[in-house]
């Protein structure tokens, strides 16, 4: 075993956690400058090894680091031991011992577990750290102290090594006991003498006492007889009172049962009254709501009826208007048709007249042109002299006419092209009109279809709205029911909570809330919620389980730990117990088979997964018919038994019972709570179902409303589109008529151009013929005849042309008027009347249908509300009767309860009086009994001697005896007893004195034996230390062959006290030791004539002797490791080398020990196994493992360097 590692934090100069590298099991050397922390390092090890005990607060404060940075509030030092040799009683290779201190604590930890200081001391003792050997840790100054020690101080040290303190402690204890024994012997002697004197006095008082005792016995016999008769009378009266009290107790129990039953009936009546009252209030509220809804619906119905009446009146008016409009429309259509027929008739007439007029005008023009030409020819003959002049003129005229004809031909072609284009446009417009008419027809049909769909959707919406109102009413009814159920649930929860304490109630609430909020699975709830039973077993089950009814059943202890962790984190108040199913044992019970008992667990109904929890609480309980059966069964079957009334018999024999108030039954409260929860769940589910159905209906209403809105938008759009299309159709028709007129005008213009062109052609042809003919002075006969006929023909043609023109103009005017009437008047009227008819057809009809549908819905709802109102009225009437009945029942119950309470109070008062009387009698009986007992032992004939005497005679005899006893008033009435008592005491004192004498002799022998053992231990230890001292000194002075020996100084009679520093020394136990000291004789040269006492040596030589003595003590009482702090500081090089060799041999021998030393000299480093350097920076010490060269380099440097810095580490 050896120190493997030391960890320091916050201790003295070691602020940060410092864990040095593992120590070597041999010799470890620590180097460092003065003040760097070497001594503090050793101090830390001593601190853990329990060298500093019972530290006060200021002592602990002084051990905490006080350097730079924040102040340390705690510190610890931990030593890790190598335990491969199992020197410490642990089956592990490493053992960690830690000591931790703070301002208010000082604690030990072994392998991270708390341990007491005494356990630490015993552990170290078992490992070889003897408290009697103070030299396994040698700090600075200890060598110096040993060099100047006196002989008696070295003897004291030898005693410590020898462990004589044990003998001295026991000797002091024996000496103390002997002193106490002597004191008791002296007291016993004094008492013994007093008893002897008192016995002589009592011898004279015995005869007189006998006469007194004879009279006293007679008196006591009389008193006994009197008291005995009083006791018999008292007992007789007590029996009568007990019997009467028993009957009244039975009556009181009966009244108590009646009161419980009446109270239960009252509670049920109150619950029924409350439920009926709430139901009545709900029914009345529903009735008020229904009446409000009915009033609203009646109001709506009235408004709808008025609106429908208005619509019907409007429809009647519109019907007449529509009839007139339809007649007007028919007349317009007839007029249009007639006028169009007339137009169709006028068209061929006008065309025929126009064509005839064109032919006449053409012929007239030709005739006039021919006449003009003949006249011109006739004139030219008078104008022109020669043919050439004429031809030149004609040539010019032909040229002009040709040009005019070409121009006229061109105009004709243009007019003809325009006419053809206009004709095409007319045909196209006519096609457009036909298409528009078809579209108008289609849109009209579509509008009628949309109106029908709109009416259907409005009816469907009304039906859905009615259904929604029904669901709303049903939901309101359920809300009132839920409110009543929640009130009942809250009341039952408070009732159940009232059966448990506040801590338990808070704990249960916290557990269930945490499980729900954190989603912790496996929490099944309190035990009381997991089973049911018949009502007759409630008392037995509740008494058996007690507060275990509220233990929370969970699937595993992990679940319970999670919940407790959350409760601690959130500081949830309350206390709760868990039953983890995985921790409950499945114990199978062998139940006895009897007719008068049965296992309680078989009468409980529960889910099989809770079987272990039920068995844990109820598994070993038998329900018995009565207490006799329970008592017998508990002994024979080793089972706990209970009756239905709750009286228990433990299998260990204990009986428990008493009154159990069934009115505060936990299971009954749980039953009501469970029923309320089921009702709440059922009604909540129904409410959710209604809400879901209501959401569906609302969704349907929204969908239908959206569809109605869409249809209405579509209908309005179609109305607008149809109006626009009809307007366009009217515009197209007007355009068609205008273009027809234009076509007629163009045709007339074209005819004029054609006539003009024909005239020009004829004139041109005439001029060409004239130019080809001979130049003559006058016309030919034919020409003159022709000219004459032309004048008549022209006149006839002009007359005919005028007639035709008049006819054409007349027909054109008529056609123009018809056209204007059709296009401007009739067409506009037809459009206006048609628009009015459309508005009447689409708007009034749709609005009327919607109102009719709404009215039907309102009437249907009113019927439902009337039915509902009648039902509610019937329900309210029934509930009023039920409330009246419940109130009567409650009043009757309360009246009966008052009577029962009055009877109970009367019974209680009577019982109290009987109890007072009984108490007085019992007190009197006790007083008489006490007097009988005070009479003491009586004569044998005292019970029969006076039994036949009357009571007055007894009192007379008693008076005589009392007068006689007065004569002996001066007699010591206890003389005889005192004589016997003092005689027994004298005998007892004699025996006690003999025992004390024997005890004193035994103690004296024990003290002598302890003195011998102590001397033997000193002698034995002295021999061992002396031998080891000589050997070690020889090793240390091997170079000079030195020798040394220890000499024990003994006390001699008559020795001069001043001749020696310590003569016959008085030990700590008060005894005088035969040893006075230990002297040391040494010779550093080995010669006998050079032997010196230690006082005569130099300082270095004394240090060598002191080291030899220390090594000798360590060899005598070896430890597993040693700590040396600069033990070589006063030695020269030779002795330092010798000391290093000794340490090396001890650390590498057959029974090696670990050494941890500090030094400033290189000799100690030469044969060490591992090296450590301690540095000191910023007031903080550090420990580092270094190489041998670094250690040697350091010790050769200036030893007076300042504390800052130190030895570097690897």
Distance of alpha carbon 449 from alpha carbon 1003, whole angstroms: 135
Least confident of 149-158, 224-233, 432-441, 836-845: 836-845
Confidence of residue 1058 (pLDDT cuts 50, 70, 90): very low
Instruction: Tell whether 92 is covered by a domain.
Output: yes
In this structure, what is the dihedral angle of CA atoms 664, 668, 670, 676, given to the nearest 10 degrees? -120
- For residue 622, what pLDDT is reported? 92
Lowest mean pLDDT among 858-867, 917-926, 1171-1180: 858-867
Report the relative pairing of strands 621-624 and 640-643 from DSSP bridges: parallel
For the cut 80, the answer to whether the pLDDT of residue 169 exceeds it is no
Q: Which of 60, 58, 59, 76 is nearest to 15 (CA)?
A: 76
| Span 1107-1158, pLDDT tens digits | 877 787 777 777 788 888 888 777 888 888 888 888 888 888 887 888 999 8
pLDDT tens string 847-881: 666 677 777 777 877 787 788 788 878 888 888 88
> How many Cβ atoms sit within 10 Å of the Cβ of residue 1039?
11
Q: Is 74 helix (H, G, I), strand (E, B) or coil?
A: strand
Q: Domain ends where: 674, 689, 704? A: 689
Higher pLDDT, 219 or 40: 40
Rounded Cα–Cα distance for residues 951 and 233 (Å): 13
The Cα–Cα gap between 1164 and 1140 comes to 5
Which residue among 689, 722, 756 closes a domain?
689
**pLDDT band of 532, cuts 50, 70, 90:** very high
Q: What percent of the chain has pLDDT over 90?
A: 6
What is the DSSP annotation of 715-752?
Answer: HHHHHHHHHHHHHHHHHHHHHHHHHHHHHHHHHHHHHH
At 699, the pLDDT band (50, 70, 90 cuts) reads very high
* pLDDT value for 492: 81
> Domain of 589?
495-689
For residue 624, pLDDT over 90 is answered with yes
* Contacting residues for 572 by C-beta, under 8 A, at least 6 apart: 506, 507, 510, 514, 566
| pLDDT value of residue 1178 | 82
Q: Report pLDDT for 1047.
A: 78
In terms of pLDDT, which residue wins out, 420 or 389?
A: 420
The mean pLDDT value for 599-619 works out to: 90
| Contacts with 537 (C-beta within 8 Å, 6 or more apart), sequence order | 600, 603, 623, 644
In this predicted structure, the answer to whether residue 1060 has a pLDDT above a threshold of 60 is: no
Confidence of residue 1052 (pLDDT cuts 50, 70, 90): low
Q: What's the CATH code of the domain at 618?
A: 3.30.70.1620
- Domain termination residue (choose one: 657, 689, 721): 689
Instruction: Please count the structural domains in the chain.
Output: 2
Q: Residue 645: what are its φ and ψ, rounded to 5°?
A: -85, -5
Average predicted confidence (pLDDT) for the chain = 80
Kindly tell me if the per-residue pLDDT of 509 is higher than 90. Answer: no
CATH number at residue 57: 3.40.50.300
Beta bridge partners of 228: none
pLDDT tens digits along 543-564 = 988 888 899 999 998 998 988 8
1176 pLDDT exceeds 90? no
Q: pLDDT for 642-672, tens place per residue?
A: 998 888 998 887 888 776 667 678 888 888 8
Provide the CA 221 distance to its chain's centre, in angstroms. Answer: 83
Q: Which of 886, 889, 892, 893 is nearest to 276 (CA)?
A: 886
Of residues 989 and 905, more confidently modeled: 905
pLDDT class for 30, splitting at 50, 70, 90? very high
Give me the mean pLDDT over the 1089-1105 stretch.
Answer: 76
| Residue 1180 placed within a domain | yes
pLDDT tens-digit profile of 430-453? 888 888 888 888 888 888 888 888
Residue 995 lies in a domain: no
| pLDDT tier at 1064, thresholds 50, 70, 90 | very low
Residue 621: enclosing H or E segment and its boundaries? strand 621-624
Asked if residue 116 is part of any domain, the answer here is: yes
In a domain, 668, yes or no: yes
Residue 942: pLDDT band (50, 70, 90) is low
Residue 1184 located in a structural domain: yes
Beta-carbon contacts of residue 198 (< 8 Å; ≥ 6 apart):
978, 982
Within a domain: 40:
yes
Q: How far apart are CA 715 and CA 850, in angstroms?
A: 15
* pLDDT at residue 213 is higher than 60: yes
Q: Read off the pLDDT of residues 576-589 as tens digits, 9 standing for 90 and up.
A: 899 999 988 887 88
How many of the other CB atoms lie within 10 Å of CB of 502? 11
**Does the pLDDT value for residue 189 go beyond 70?**
yes
pLDDT of residue 533: 92
- pLDDT of res. 552: 92
In this predicted structure, what is the pLDDT of residue 774? 66
Confidence of residue 208 (pLDDT cuts 50, 70, 90): low
| Long-range pairs for 585-590: beta carbons < 8 A, 24 or more residues apart | 585/612, 586/612, 586/615, 587/615, 587/619, 589/615, 589/619, 589/620
Asked if residue 587 is part of any domain, the answer here is: yes
Q: Are 139 and 101 in contact (CB under 8 A)?
A: no
Confidence of residue 960 (pLDDT cuts 50, 70, 90): confident
Of 2-16, 161-175, 577-591, 724-738, the range with the lowest mean pLDDT is: 161-175
pLDDT at 102: 87
Most confidently modeled range among 96-100, 203-207, 245-249, 488-492: 96-100
In sequence order, which ranges of 498-598 are alpha helices (DSSP H)? 502-517, 538-545, 557-569
Arithmetic mean of pLDDT, 794-801: 82
């Amino acid at each position: 075993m050896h120190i493997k590692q030391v960890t320091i934090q916050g201790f003295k100069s070691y602020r940060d956690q410092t864990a040095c590298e593992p120590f070597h099991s041999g010799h470890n050397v620590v180097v460092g400058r003065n003040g760097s922390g070497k001594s503090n390092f050793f101090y830390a090890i001593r601190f853990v090894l329990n060298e500093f005990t019972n530290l006060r607060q200021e002592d602990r404060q002084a051990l905490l680091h006080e350097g730079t940075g924040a102040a340390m509030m705690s510190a610890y030092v931990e030593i890790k031991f190598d335990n491969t040799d199992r020197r410490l009683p642990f089956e592990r290779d490493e053992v960690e011992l830690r000591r931790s201190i703070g301002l208010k604590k000082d604690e030990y930890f072994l392998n991270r577990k708390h341990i007491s200081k005494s356990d630490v001391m015993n552990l170290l003792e078992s490992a070889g750290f003897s408290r009697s050997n103070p030299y396994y840790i040698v700090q600075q100054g200890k060598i110096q102290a040993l060099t100047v020690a006196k002989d008696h101080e070295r003897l004291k040290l030898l005693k410590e090594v020898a462990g004589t303190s044990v003998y001295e402690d026991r000797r002091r204890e024996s000496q103390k006991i002997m002193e106490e024994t002597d004191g008791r012997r002296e007291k016993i002697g004094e008492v013994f003498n007093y008893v002897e004197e008192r016995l002589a006095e009592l011898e004279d008082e015995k005869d007189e006492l006998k006469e007194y005792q004879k009279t006293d016995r007679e008196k006591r016999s009389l008193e006994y007889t009197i008291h005995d008769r009083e006791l018999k009378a008292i007992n007789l009266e007590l029996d009568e009172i007990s019997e009467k009290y028993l009957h009244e107790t039975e009556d009181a129990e009966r009244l108590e049962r009646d009161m419980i039953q009446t109270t239960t009936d009252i509670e049920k009546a109150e619950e029924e009254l409350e439920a009926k009252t709430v139901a009545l209030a709900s029914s009345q509220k529903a009735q008020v709501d229904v009446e409000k809804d009915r009033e609203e619906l009646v109001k709506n119905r009235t408004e709808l009826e008025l609106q429908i009446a208005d619509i019907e009146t409007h429809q009647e008016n519109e019907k007449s208007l529509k009839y007139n409009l339809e007649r007007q429309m028919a007349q317009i259509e007839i007029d249009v048709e007639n006028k169009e027929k007339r137009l169709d008739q006028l068209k061929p007439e006008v065309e025929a007249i126009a064509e005839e007029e064109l032919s006449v005008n053409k012929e007239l023009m030709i005739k006039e042109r021919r006449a003009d030409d003949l006249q011109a020819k006739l004139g030219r003959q008078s104008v022109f002299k020669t043919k050439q002049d004429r031809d030149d003129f004609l040539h010019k005229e032909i040229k002009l006419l040709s040009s005019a004809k070409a121009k006229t031909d061109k105009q004709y072609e243009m007019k003809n092209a325009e006419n053809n284009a206009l004709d095409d446009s007319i045909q196209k417009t006519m096609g457009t009109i036909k298409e528009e008419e078809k579209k108008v027809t289609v849109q009209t049909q579509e509008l009628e279809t949309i109106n029908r769909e709109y009416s259907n959707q409005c009816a469907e919406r009304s039906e859905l709205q009615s259904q929604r109102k029904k669901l709303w009413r049903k939901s309101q009814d359920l809300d009132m029911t839920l409110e009543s159920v929640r009130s009942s649930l809250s009341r039952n929860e408070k009732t159940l909570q009232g059966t448990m304490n506040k801590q338990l109630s808070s704990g249960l609430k916290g557990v269930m809330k945490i499980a729900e909020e954190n989603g912790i699975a496996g929490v099944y709830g309190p035990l009381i919620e997991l089973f049911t039973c018949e009502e007759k077993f409630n008392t037995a089950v509740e008494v058996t389980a007690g507060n275990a009814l509220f233990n929370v059943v969970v699937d595993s202890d992990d679940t319970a730990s999670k919940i407790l962790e959350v409760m601690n984190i959130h500081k949830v108040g309350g206390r709760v117990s868990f039953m983890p199913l995985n921790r409950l044992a499945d114990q199978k019970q062998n139940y006895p088979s009897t007719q008068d008992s049965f296992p309680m667990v078989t009468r409980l109904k529960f889910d099989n997964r809770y079987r272990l929890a039920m068995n844990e609480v109820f598994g070993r309980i038998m329900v018995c018919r009565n207490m006799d059966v329970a008592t017998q069964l508990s002994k024979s079957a080793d089972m706990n038994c209970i009756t239905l009334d709750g009286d228990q018999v433990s299998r260990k024999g204990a009986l428990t019972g008493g009154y159990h108030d069934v009115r505060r039954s936990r299971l009954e409260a749980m039953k009501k709570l469970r029923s309320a929860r089921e009702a709440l769940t059922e009604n909540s589910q129904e409410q959710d179902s209604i809400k879901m159905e209501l959401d569906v209906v609302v969704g349907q209403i929204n969908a239908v409303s959206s569809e109605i809105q869409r249809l209405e938008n579509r209908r309005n759009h179609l109305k607008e589109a149809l109006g626009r299309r009809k307007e366009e159709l009217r515009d197209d028709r007007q355009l068609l008529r205008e273009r027809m007129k234009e076509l007629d005008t163009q045709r007339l213009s074209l005819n004029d151009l054609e006539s003009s062109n024909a005239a020009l052609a004829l004139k041109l042809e005439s001029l060409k013929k004239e130019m080809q003919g001979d130049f003559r002075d006058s016309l030919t006969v034919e020409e003159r005849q022709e000219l004459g006929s032309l004048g008549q023909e022209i006149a006839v043609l002009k007359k005919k042309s005028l007639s035709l023109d008049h006819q054409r103009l007349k027909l054109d005017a008529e056609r123009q008027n018809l056209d204007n009437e059709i296009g401007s008047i009739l067409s506009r009227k037809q459009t206006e009347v048609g628009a009015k008819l459309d508005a009447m057809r689409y708007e009034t009809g749709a609005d009327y249908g919607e109102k009719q549908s709404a009215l039907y819905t309102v009437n249907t709802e009113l019927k439902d509300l009337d039915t509902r109102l009648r039902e509610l009225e019937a329900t309210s009437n029934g509930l009023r009767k039920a409330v009246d009945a419940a109130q009567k029942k409650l009043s009757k119950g309360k009246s009966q309860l008052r009577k029962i309470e009055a009877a109970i109070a009367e019974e209680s008062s009577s019982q109290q009086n009987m109890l007072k009387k009984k108490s007085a009698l019992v007190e009197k009986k006790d007083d008489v009994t006490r007097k009988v007992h005070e009479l003491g032992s009586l004569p044998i004939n005292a019970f029969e001697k006076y039994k036949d005497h009357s009571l007055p005679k007894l009192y007379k005899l008693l008076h005589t005896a009392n007068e006689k006893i007065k004569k002996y008033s001066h007699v010591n009435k206890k003389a005889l007893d005192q004589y016997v008592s003092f005689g027994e005491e004298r005998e007892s004192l004699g025996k006690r004195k003999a025992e004390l004498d024997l005890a004193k002799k035994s103690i004296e022998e024990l003290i002598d034996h302890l003195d011998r053992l102590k001397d033997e231990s000193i002698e034995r230890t002295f021999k061992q230390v002396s031998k080891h001292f000589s050997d070690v000194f020889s090793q240390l002075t091997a170079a000079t062959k030195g020798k040394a020996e220890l000499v024990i100084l003994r006390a001699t009679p008559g020795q001069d006290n001043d001749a020696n520093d310590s003569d016959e020394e008085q030990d700590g136990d008060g005894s005088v030791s035969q040893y006075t000291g230990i002297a040391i004789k040494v010779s550093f040269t080995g010669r006998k004539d050079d032997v010196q006492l230690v006082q005569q040596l130099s300082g270095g030589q004394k240090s060598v002797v002191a080291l030899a003595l220390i090594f000798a003590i360590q060899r005598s009482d070896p430890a597993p490791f040693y700590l040396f702090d600069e033990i070589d500081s006063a030695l020269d090089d030779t002795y330092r080398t010798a000391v290093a060799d000794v340490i090396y041999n001890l650390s590498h021998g057959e029974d090696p020990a670990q050494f941890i030393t500090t030094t400033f000299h290189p000799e100690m480093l030469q044969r060490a196994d591992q090296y450590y350097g301690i540095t000191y920076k910023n007031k903080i010490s550090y420990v580092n493992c270094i190489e041998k060269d670094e250690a040697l380099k350091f010790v050769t440097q200036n030893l007076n360097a300042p504390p800052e810095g130190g030895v570097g580490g690897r």
